[in-house]
Amino acid sequence: MSWITEYVRPKIRGLLKREVPDNLWTTCESCNQMLLTKELHKNLNVCPHCGHHMRASVIDRLKWTFDNAEFNRIELPQAPIDPLGFRDQKKYTDRLKDARAKSHLDESLVVAHGTIGGHPAVVGVMAFEFMAGTMGAAFGERFVAAARLAILQKAPLVVFTASGGARMQEGVISLMQMPRTTVAVQMLRDAGLPYIVVLTNPTTGGVTASFAMLGDVQIAEPNALIGFAGPRVIEDTVREKLPEGFQRSEYLLDHGMLDMVVVRKALPATLARVIGLLMRAPADVVAPPPRQPTAPAVAAE
């Protein structure tokens, strides 16, 4: 037997039999280009070919946002599990168990604090990987806790949204989180603290109809879907063709619903600049009252 059969052939067979990891490649949802997952992650999950902003995990968001990827997650209050005893094709409690096992998160909102551009900040990130980022009673508890922490630290609250809306398994209880989160935003306003919203793809339903559109500064990532009902539902209802780019970030920016659309790489610097501007004035500074109109002078005859 030659050295080819003894040495080379087994090596070739070993290479051919080597298993390729399932997550080695990622396909861009926009341009269908095959991308190395490792390289894509280095580019903050933004396609280098077309600039499409793909979804990001909660932990990645926090690392990309805080200075030096350093932050402290906080313990968040728990809410009653399955208050309605809901069941469709499977029990709601089983759906929660599955979501927790797959996402390694216990709910759809994670809250942490640290610094952004040297400015203290509290950041809440919605986890689309946990039941599509839906909003239930536990979410409401966590959002209020985030607002209270920001007030305690006298820091701004930054929220990254990514959600399919209210969680249907909690019925009207999930809808009650809309006014509840609105009250939490008002708590920040009363304390004179900035509330900044970064809308990512997708942000829909009751989330859009409540706290997601109440920011002092409204920022969005490029081409993010932002709306209450989906485009197909609207088209079927009004029986008209919607304008090109309807409910996308750029369309909302052109129509005054957003303050700016910012690419992901520029978000930390943009947030640092906005926080620096908004936190420069002391919280107890009160704007002067509007000047009363004076009666027009009557010319002497």
Query: Can you say which residues are annotated as belonging to the binding site for Zn(2+)?
Result: 28, 31, 47, 50
Q: How far apart are CA 158 and CA 198, in angstroms?
A: 7
Q: How far apart are CA 298 and CA 202, in angstroms?
A: 59
In contact, 278 and 156? CB cutoff 8 Å: yes
Going from the C-alpha of 290 to that of each of 216, 284, 287, 293, the distances in angstroms are 21, 18, 9, 9
CA-nearest of 279, 32, 34 to 158 is 279
Q: How far apart are CA 274 and CA 230, in angstroms?
A: 31
Which residue ranges are tagged as binding site?
A: 28, 31, 47, 50
Amino acid at 76: L
Q: What is the dihedral of CA 207, 264, 62, 206, to 10 degrees?
A: 0
Task: Record the tokens describing residue 73, joined without a space.
Answer: 């997650």
CA-nearest of 221, 219, 224, 227 to 260 is 219
H or E segment and range at residue 260: strand 260-261
Residue 299: helix, strand or coil by DSSP?
coil
Task: Record the tokens describing residue 95, joined without a space.
Answer: 């759906």
